[in-house]
Amino acid sequence: MAKLPFSIVIPTYNEAGGIEKLLRAIDGVCKANGLDGEVIVVDDNSPDGTGAIVDRLSSELPVRALHRPGKLGLSSGVIDGWKIARPESLALGAMDADFSHDVSILPRMVAALESGYGLAVGSRYVSGGGIQNWPTRRIVTSRIACALARPLTNVKDITSGYFLVRREALQDVQLDPIGFKIGLEVIAKAHYGRVTEIPYVFTDRTTGESKLNQREIVNYLKQLRKLYAARLFPRSAVL
């Protein structure tokens, strides 16, 4: 049976150190498992030349770059990437560029969607998942972030940025491109029916730097406020 075609977006800002290795690893996993995946890298004019590396690789791998003029944010990058996904892709996804997200679970994510799930979330917080080499400060922040969103969903890794969702689940869904947590927007708003979490071990980046800063933490709180308001007052016009 032909595998479910999908498009996965990788937002990048200054990821020149690892992007080629990652794109080759994804290609390797797709080829080894007969997956029909395209990768869209959304680069925000990274000063380190990430975009040019992706352009070069696009003649060799099923990869495209979308170039934006400046640093416009992770979530809006993913949404802009989805807008140019090839029409045949039945699923859309997101993955970070820094190898924190384990590419080897991609086949399980695709298989989950093929077997009737509408959303497959790469998860650190189910049995078999975990975190390696993250500073304690980041682990604590992640746990608090998840706890704050807990009433919105049963998904354990609510702040995961690694997922695959059926395209039709996003139909007529108004996604707010605020900040870092596009996964939370999808988990809270999309019409995906059944969801499954696929365990993986998140490993901290070994090249480049994290772009999570205080501003993104404030953005996360704003995003949560909007999501709670929408749940509590679904008809309110002030959202």
Ligand X SMILES: Nc1nc2c(ncn2[C@@H]2O[C@H](COP(=O)(O)OP(=O)(O)O)[C@@H](O)[C@H]2O)c(=O)[nH]1
Q: What residue ranges bind Mg ion (CB under 5 A)?
A: 96, 98, 100
| Shortest CB 178 distance to ligand X, Å | 12
The whole-angstrom separation of Cα 115 and Cα 41 is 27
Write the interaction track for ligand X spanning residues 31-70; mark x where CB under 6 A is met and - where it is not: -----------xxx--------------------------
- 180 phi/psi in degrees, rounded to 5: -100, -20
Q: Which stretch binds ligand X (CB under 6 A): 8-16, 21-29, 118-126, 166-174?
A: 8-16
DSSP 89-155: --EEEE--SSS-S-GGGHHHHHHHHHTT-SEEEEESSSTT-EEES--HHHHHHHHHHHHHHGGG-S-
The whole-angstrom separation of Cα 99 and Cα 122 is 13
Where do we find the tokens 């150190």?
17
The whole-angstrom separation of Cα 208 and Cα 108 is 28
Task: Work out whether 25 is an interface residue with ligand X (CB under 6 A).
Answer: no
Looking at residue 4, its amino acid is L
Kindly state the number of chain residues that form the binding site for ligand X, as judged by CB under 6 A. 20
Cβ closer to ligand X: 108 or 211? Answer: 211
Task: Work out whether 13 is an interface residue with ligand X (CB under 6 A).
Answer: yes
Cβ closer to ligand X: 12 or 196? Answer: 12
Where do we find the tokens 């498009």?
7
Residue 60, Cβ density class (10 Å: 0-12 exposed, 13-18 middle, ≥19 buried): exposed
Q: Which stretch binds ligand X (CB under 6 A): 1-9, 27-35, 57-65, 91-99?
A: 91-99
Q: Which stretch binds ligand X (CB under 6 A): 20-28, 117-125, 163-171, 210-218?
A: 210-218
Q: Residue 15 touches which of ligand X, Mg ion, none (CB < 5 to 8 A by kind)?
A: ligand X
Q: Which residues are near ligand X by CB under 6 A?
A: 11-13, 15, 42-44, 71-74, 77, 96-98, 100, 205, 210-212
